[in-house]
Chains A and B, each alone.
Chain A
Amino acid sequence: MSSPLKGLIRFQPTLPGDTGRFAGILSGFILLLAVMPILTMIVMSFSGASNLDFPPSSYSLQWYQAAWKTFVSPDSSDVLSLGQALGTSLLVSCLTMVLATLIAVPAAYALTRCEFRGKAVALQLMSLPLVFPMVVLGLAMLLVFDSLPFHLTTSRLVIAHVILALPFVVKNCTAAMLSIGTEVEEAAQMLGASPMRAIIDVVVPLMKSGILAGMLLAFIVSFNEFTVTYFLYTIDVMTVPIWMYSRTVSSLDPTVFSFAVLIVLIDFVLIWALEKLVGEGGVSF
């Protein structure tokens, strides 16, 4: 047999530890199913028909135009415009991101560098929000905030979101800190830096990618959070997911799909950026 033909077929036995073609195709198919609802929604947003048949009978940008119209000149029937909801969403997400990072970095330092009594308890507590039932969290927060003598509106959303995002940020910061040896800190202290300055000037810059990944995750978690917010929103402070739900509670309106595509796009960009940081190491979920 001539060699070019052989190269074309490229018969290579898969070594143990390599994935076979079958496993690769199977997992690709399963992953396709996992993102199917998102893909369907993207296709539907370009539908030219006004029903929910799939695939749509014709394609157009009519729902994007309708969505733009709602954004620019809000219906008077809506309690709250999309612009206001988007503003609230961004404000809450950014505040959550900053706050969660500020409190997670010292916590991560304590959890990685110090041996202390109660460490096991602290570690368990840190991952508690991950497994705590969201509905109960929403209910519980509502009980707490309603029994307070004063009213919080936006800040109660921020407090709830910080709790939800905390495990993700702490996990990323801890992983990043573990990859830095203690010797750099010791060297800084030996050269005369106080322990605090050694942390701020040496350790924190070194774990930048882990902190950034944690910040991105906190933003994504807060921006997409629905369940807890559904318990805590008030009529004049809504986030985008709540606004969308209140709009579609009676019937599904295809303009929602074009908003949804926008949100998915934002999420995808953030996730892609996150993965770039994952590639640089020190990041985990």
Chain B
Amino acid sequence: MQRQVALHGAGNFSFTEITDMQHPNLTRSVGEAPVRPPRAISPTARAWFFLTPSMLFLAVLIAASLLVLRMSVGTKGAEWTGFSLASYAQLLEPYYLKSLLLTLRLALISAVIAVVLAIPVAYTMSRLQSPLVRRIFLAAVLLPLLVNLLLQSYGWLVILGPAGMLNKALLGLGLIKRPIMMLYNQNGVLMGLVQTAFPLAVLPIASAMRGVSRSFEEAAATLGASRLQVFRQVVLPMSMPGIITGATLVFAYNASSFVVPLLLGGRRVPMLAVMVHDQIAPLMNWPAASAAGVVLIVTTLIIMTLSEYLSGRRRRMLEASQ
């Protein structure tokens, strides 16, 4: 039948021929689908098979942290065989204790400042309509997070220097008579810490605020709440889990911050991470460095657990109330 159509040519075959024509096979038979043998491997084994390559890398990380733990109870000279708690005892000396307290204080203050600054930015970002403005905002948030910390610290050196931008501005405004010293002390380091960790506060808060539906705000406004009241009594409490996460991330990030205190603080602001490196590079005291490292890990773990507990409770409360 098909050959007949081809002989007639494209132009002159009649309607009857088409209806007459048998429908050509659209699918070809490839035999029966093979019956797959019932899967022998359990879903758990299959999942872990997929996870194996990435777990190998994470295993390096875990093995490495265990090595640090082992090293921290070693003694100088016999790092792998000796056992003493001398390195931890050393951390209780006034100099190291002061460094630990300084680290915790700077991390805490920077977390509070970063979150306070991040809340308006995150709120604006979560409610932006125009795609271009949203992209520019996101780029401005991501740049401090992703651009090399070293380069940003160089920028801070120019801003904070004796003839730098900030001093010029303050002199111009008549707020100060002489240039004030902002480099190589805690104020300069604090500014650097807030700026470099700022995106870590904005991103979780913005995503939490995006989750707060506008209808809640509309309902509150209909019931007579002012804009400020809507923000303080509806938006803020509902995005509290994000705010807690943001504060935790900034705290953990800054407690182990290395580049900013190294460049902006010099040796005058000995934060814990800088001390870890000092113990290795000039002093070659591996156990002491490891002990300080263990303190850093423990601090981070405590803060993360606390935050998990707080934000988890908050989230359950929010879910229960809805």
Contact A263:B123 (CB < 8 A) given known A34-B141, A135-B258, A143-B64: no
Complexed CA–CA distance, A53 and B51 (Å): 53
Among A108-116, A178-186, A203-211, the one that faces the other chain is: A108-116
When distances are taken between beta carbons in the complex, the residues of chain A under 8 Å from B165 are: 40, 54-55
8 A Cβ contacts from A102-146 to B: 102-104, 106-107, 109-111, 114-119, 122, 125-126, 128-129, 131-137, 139-144
Bound CA span A16–B17, Å? 69
- In the bound assembly, the distance between CA atoms of A85 and B50 in angstroms comes to 35
**Distance from A284 Cβ to chain B, minimum over Cβ atoms (Å):** 8
Measured in the bound complex, the distance between the Cα atoms of B256 and A61 in whole Å is: 38
Closest-CB distance, B93 to chain A (whole angstroms): 20
* Contact between A24 and B140, CB atoms less than 8 A apart: no
Q: Please give, as numbers and ranges, the residues of chain A lying within 8 Å of B199 by CB-CB distance.
A: 34
Cα A147 to Cα B46 in complex, Å, equals 34
Instruction: Give the docked Cα–Cα distance between A260 and B148 (Å).
Output: 9
The answer on a CB contact under 8 Å between B256 and A279 is: no
Q: Give Cα A279–Cα B139 distance, bound, in whole angstroms.
A: 13
Q: Which residues of B contact A36 (CB under 8 A)?
A: 155, 159, 195
* Bound complex: CA A166 to CA B152 (Å): 24
Q: How far is the CA of A128 from the CA of B58 in the complex (A)?
A: 9
Q: Which residues of A contact B273 (CB under 8 A)?
A: 133-135
Interface: B94 (CB within 8 A)? no
| Distance, CA A221 to CA B145, complexed state (A) | 10
Q: Are B276 and A139 in contact (CB under 8 A)?
A: yes
State which residues 106-158 of B face A: CB under 8 Å.
117, 120-121, 123-125, 127-128, 131, 135, 137-144, 146-158
List residues of chain B with CB within 8 A of the CB of A284.
207
Q: Are A31 and B217 in contact (CB under 8 A)?
A: no
Determine the distance from Cα of A53 to Cα of B297 in the docked complex, in whole angstroms. Answer: 40
Contact of A134 with B140 in the complex, beta carbons under 8 Å: no
A166 touches B47 (CB 8 A): no
| Closest residue of B by beta carbon distance from A224 | B148
Stretch among B7-15, B84-92, B288-296, B309-317 lining the A interface: B288-296
Chain A residues in 8 Å Cβ range of B289: 139
Taking residues whose C-beta sits less than 8 angstroms from the other chain, chain A's interface range is 35 or more
With A110-B48, A275-B139 given, is the CB distance from A19 to B124 under 8 Å? yes
Residues of A203-243 at the interface with B, using a CB-CB cut-off of 8 Å, are 220-221, 224, 226-227, 230-231, 241
CB <8 Å contact, A170 and B54:
yes
Describe B's contact surface by its main secondary structure: helix
Q: In whole angstroms, how far apart are the Cα atoms of A227 and B277 in the complex? A: 10
B42 to chain A, nearest CB (A): 8
Residue picked from B64, B227, B258, B296, most chain A C-beta under 10 Å: B64
Q: Are B124 and A226 in contact (CB under 8 A)?
A: no
Consensus secondary structure, chain A interface: helix
Q: Is the CB of A16 within 8 A of B227?
A: yes
* Contact across chains for B148 and A271 when beta carbons are under 8 A apart: no
A27 at the interface (CB under 8 A from B): yes
Interchain nearest-CB distance for A95 vs B (Å): 13
**Does B67 lie within 8 Å of A144, measured CB to CB?**
yes
Q: Which of A246-272 contact B (CB under 8 A)?
A: 248, 252, 256-257, 260, 263-264, 267-268, 271-272
Query: What is the CA–CA distance of A144 and B80 in the complex, to the nearest angstrom?
Result: 12
A285 B203 Cβ-Cβ under 8 A: yes
Chain A CB within 8 A of B181 CB: no
The answer to the question of A149 belonging to the interface, with a C-beta cut-off of 8 Å to chain B, is no
Given A23-B120, A35-B140, A38-B147, CB of A104 within 8 Å of CB of B154? no
Known: A106-B51, A275-B135. A16 touches B214 (CB 8 A): yes
Given A52-B157, A52-B164, A135-B276, check contact A27 B120 (CB 8 Å): yes
B residues with a Cβ closer than 8 A to A are 33, 43-44, 46-48, 50-51, 53-58, 60-61, 63-65, 67-68, 71, 117, 120-121, 123-125, 127-128, 131, 135, 137-144, 146-159, 161, 163-165, 168, 195, 198-199, 203, 207, 214, 217-218, 220-221, 227, 230, 249, 252, 255-256, 258-259, 273, 276-277, 280, 286, 289-290, 293-294, 296-297, 300, 304
Could you list 29 A-B pairs, sorted by A, with CB under 8 Å? Answer: A15-B218, A16-B218, A17-B217, A20-B227, A31-B121, A36-B159, A40-B159, A52-B157, A103-B57, A106-B50, A110-B50, A114-B46, A114-B47, A116-B48, A118-B48, A122-B55, A128-B61, A133-B256, A136-B293, A143-B67, A163-B57, A170-B54, A260-B151, A260-B154, A271-B142, A272-B135, A275-B142, A278-B138, A285-B142
The 3 closest A-B pairs by CB, nearest first: A37-B155, A133-B256, A140-B64
